[in-house]
């Protein structure tokens, strides 16, 4: 341990990240060797009293829970976390998704924002194929400090929300769709080319990145 990181040989755990950025290091679980993953979780809990991981499998959860019984796992978002002291969420982040097939990515965004201290309002299944469902939620959308819009297919949801609200919109394209959606590329291009103002775009299926950015915006809105 030294100079702001824990050199574990196979990994260098950034123990100084929360001081620098306001957010502790997050573990991307997918693809990690079992031995490495377990050691990283243990090191995070030892250093921070908590740990947060994304893209975890049920098997990885069982592995971690054997050594760290406080571990929690959500199979929908694939988040594997060990929480320290739980506090009530502050501010307001609205997480919207077009359809129920987009829920895994939307939940990754929502649970990321909640873990980092934001109050989250989930507004699900409000895609543009039934626009009245979204319009009925305008008051909830307007009252949020930031809106996350998660959609696959053609990805039009973010543009529609961007034209309705005064707050920043973070668009998340998902890989949901038929062949010509190209695994989320069509939704990504729609969102990047949005004519609505105030829309920023993260990577395909990157709910975590959207939840992180939404938390940053929410924190700025809460500053005195």
190 and 135 assigned to the same domain? yes
Residue 59's CB: how many other CB atoms inside 10 A? 9
pLDDT digits (tens, 9 = 90+) for 129-154: 899 999 999 999 999 999 999 999 99
50 and 124 assigned to the same domain? no
Q: Which residue among 32, 51, 82 closes a domain?
A: 82
Does some domain include residue 1? no
CATH code at 107?
3.40.50.1970
Domain range holding 166?
Answer: 90-222
Q: What global pTM score does this model have?
A: 0.92
pLDDT digits (tens, 9 = 90+) for 33-52: 999 999 999 999 988 889 99
């Amino acid at each position: 341990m030294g100079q702001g990181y824990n050199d574990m040989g196979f990994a260098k755990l950034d123990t100084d990240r929360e001081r620098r950025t306001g957010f502790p290091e997050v573990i991307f679980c997918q693809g990690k060797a079992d031995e490495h993953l377990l050691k990283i979780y243990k090191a995070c809990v030892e250093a921070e009293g908590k740990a947060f991981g994304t893209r975890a499998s049920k098997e990885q959860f069982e592995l971690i829970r054997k050594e760290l019984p406080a571990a929690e796992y959500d199979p929908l978002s694939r988040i594997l976390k060990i929480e320290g002291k739980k506090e009530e969420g502050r501010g307001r982040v609205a997480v919207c998704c077009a359809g129920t097939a987009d829920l895994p990515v939307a939940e990754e965004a929502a649970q990321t924002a909640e873990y980092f201290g934001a109050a989250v309002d989930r507004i699900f299944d409000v895609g543009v194929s039934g626009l009245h469902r979204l319009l009925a939620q305008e008051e909830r959308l307007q009252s949020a400090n930031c809106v996350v819009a998660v959609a696959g297919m053609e990805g039009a949801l973010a543009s529609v929300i961007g034209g309705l609200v005064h707050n920043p919109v973070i668009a998340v394209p998902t890989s949901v769709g038929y062949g010509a959606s190209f695994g989320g590329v069509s939704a990504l291009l729609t969102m990047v080319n949005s004519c609505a103002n105030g829309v920023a775009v993260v990577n395909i299926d990157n709910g975590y990145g959207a939840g992180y950015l939404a938390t940053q915006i929410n924190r700025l809105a809460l500053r005195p």
